[in-house]
Amino acid sequence: MKITNEIVKNHGLTTLEFKEIKSLIGREPNLVELGIFSAMWNEHCSYKSSKVHLKKLPTKNEIVIQGPGENAGVIDIKDGDAIVFKIESHNHPSYIEPFQGAATGVGGILRDVFTMGARPIALLNSIHFGDVNHKKTKHLLNGVVSGIGGYGNCIGIPTVAGETKFNESYNENILVNAMAVGLAKKDKIFYSKAKGINKPVVYVGSKTGRDGIHGASMASAEFDENSEEKKPTVQVGDPFTEKLLLESCLELMKDKSIIAIQDMGAAGLTSSSVEMASKGGLGIELELNKVPTREQDMTPYEIMLSESQERMLIILEEGKEDYAKKIFEKWDLDFSIIGKTTATNRLVLKFDNETVADLPLSALSDKAPMYERKSKKIKLPKKFDYKDKIKKFEIKDLILKLISHPNFNNKNWITSQFDQLVMGDTILRSGSDAAIIKAHDTNKGIAVTVDSSAKFCAAFPLYGGKQIIAECWRNLIAVGAKPLAVTNCLNFGNPENPEIMGQFTDCLKGMKEACEFLNMPIVSGNVSFYNGTNQKNIDPTPVIGGVGLIANLDRKLIDHKLKKEGNIIIKIGKTFGHLYQSALFLEILNLKDGPPPEVNLTNEKNNGEMILKLISGNLIESCHDISSGGTIMSLFEMAIGGNLGLKINKLKSTQNHIEYFFGEDQGRYLIEVSKANLSKVIELLKKDSIAYQEIATVIKENIELESFFEFKISELDNLNQKWFNDYNAN
């Protein structure tokens, strides 16, 4: 077949890139070879627009065993134990086919984790949808939630935490980010780097079909009015087969049989074989007739580019073939020796006794394009005078509007569809600042959280990047966990747009500064570009998954729920009343201008370390970080969670009540302290010069502030659940 300009374009390659391909291989590629280049050089696999910037991020410290570059990151939690974790996007597939897109996103991230030798112990998600009244939103919401729950529940891994947000920015391009966390022994970590010559290359798992062909390329392009036509590029998942694959791989890993192992994820057999051989500086030869297929007459092109799910590529030690085969056949999975490693540094594909592709591996990996795209510097928005705009509003009315808003409404309708307790190790789950899972057969608690920062990044990405790392830090701190490391999923628009690239680079600068200061390296992650339709891009949405450690679960568990009448609520951190880019301004008053709050990393660190000191000293009863919605929403969440009320102290006359209660200054917490511990807590706060303020007393059933408002907890709880209940009832 003659390769035309149209064929090149349809493969997501530019004219210049095609010219470079011809130069690298010394000839024109055939269609199979073009498909392979298309897969390996697309944005999703090559990171060609982001790699130069990602290299600047902090990825190492004393606990990092494996940083970016493998299937997942690995950190040391002592006693021979390791945590393996990663977050990834499945945005485009989920918009096209929400159930399967979300389901296979969960399946893919699980394989990334157990491929490293870890047993998955928890799932999390960050999902973003368009305006609630948009014609597609309800359909997409229902499909995605069902897909996440359907896959996680069936495979038997708890979905313990997540977030769901609505904003018109995602009307035509939703975000579905899935995170998985696993537990492994640090001396039993498995990698994808091939070693040795003439080692058997083995295909295991499900058979290969035609689903998902060009899935990675589809994820590397904007949507248009024809996006519905891309449904064939969405993979189809089977959680029951994944369970079999998980158990069989972990069983094989008990023996010294595996040299290298790689999930067949994006770009399927192409990316797995190329990456394994390239990392090892070897070549690889595959006989495509030996690949198990479930459809007749599949071509080499289809076999190499299929993204059928629940498949692995393994390089075995010689002599271990029969042993491995028995394991996979016992689990009723396909096992086929489809090739061998070579010393040629080339990818050679054979089909029907003919060579259908012969490419230098360096051209597919090391020499893939890497662009430093033009970027536009994003300026800090100016403040504006809003005093006249807010003075007409009553605090009570604003509270009722905010607590009823879809972004603040109780998400029980969603979380009730996820099994959060399967495996029996979930200690703290959805609704808390972070979830806690017991590391099985130990007394350690693994704290996990997932957070995003679209609104702050859209306004000023440098601050937004700092903020989302700090938010992750606070959420882990609030449950008494020492923050350890993070994984990121960077969801942005078209990188060829200088403004989008400016958002991306400035956001990374902010993340870098915060990660370095707080000693939280980024050990894994994913970049998702081209999120938009017809050149209308999403708001920049970095999503951060964080992992922390509770060394001993014998201590009192801390969550955000109020515990006892008579206890005192203390606010930690300074309140300046920053309303610009707050939930109140954006969601209720439609005031979209102004700068986001600054992030003082010194205060973040000092305040967080003080909270950990108070928790370890058994001096507080509950804790909650102050984030979206400000002080008032955090107070309400504590009250509703504990089914107890609050008598809020009257403010100083000089303080503006709306600024005080709704402002979103960073670095703040609410802590509940018993009267018996109050003097000791205040003494410690003063000693370390931590800003604090006693702001409320726990009472029986009302939340009240003299002359401003009085609510029954039951009324607030009902109101907090009403929108979602009504939305899904219609």
Alpha helices in 219-376, H assignment, sequence order: 239-252, 268-280, 300-305, 321-330, 361-364
Alpha helices in 194-238, H assignment, sequence order: 215-218
Question: Which residue from 399, 408, 478, 434 is spatially nearest to 670, judged by alpha carbons?
Answer: 478
What does the alpha-carbon distance between residue 231 and residue 234 come to, in Å, rounded to a whole number? 5
Q: Which sign does the torsion angle of CA 406, 410, 415, 420 carry?
A: positive
- 3 state SS for 589-612: CCCCCCCCCCCCHHHHHHHHHHHH
E strand spans, 169-265 = 175-185, 200-205, 258-263
331 contacts 241 by C-beta, under 8 angstroms: no
Angle between helices 31-41 and 268-280 (to 10 degrees): 70
Q: At residue 705, what are phi and psi to the nearest 5 degrees?
A: -135, 120
DSSP letter, residue 672: E
Tokens coding 614: 């108070």
What does the alpha-carbon distance between residue 282 and residue 37 come to, in Å, rounded to a whole number? 18
Catalytic residue among 11, 44, 214, 578: 44
Which residue shows structure tokens 């039993």? 188
CA 2 to chain centre: 42
Which residue shows structure tokens 């790392």? 469
Question: Which residue from 80, 163, 695 is spatially nearest to 441, judged by alpha carbons?
Answer: 80
638 contacts 672 by C-beta, under 8 angstroms: yes
What does the alpha-carbon distance between residue 704 and residue 721 come to, in Å, rounded to a whole number? 20
Catalytic residue among 11, 53, 90, 214: 90
122 contacts 411 by C-beta, under 8 angstroms: no
Q: Which sign does the torsion angle of CA 559, 562, 567, 573 carry?
A: positive
Q: At residue 136, what are phi and psi to the nearest 5 degrees?
A: -100, -15
Question: Please, which residues have CB within 8 angstroms of residue 374's CB and are 6 or more apart in sequence?
Answer: 498, 501
For 140, the 3-state DSSP assignment is helix
Question: DSSP characters for 66-88?
Answer: E-BTBSSEEEE-STTEEEEEEEE
**Which residue type occupies 43?**
E
For 695, the 3-state DSSP assignment is strand
The answer to whether residue 90 is catalytic is yes
Which residue shows structure tokens 């296979």? 104
The answer to whether residue 53 is catalytic is no
Enumerate the active-site residues.
Answer: 44, 90
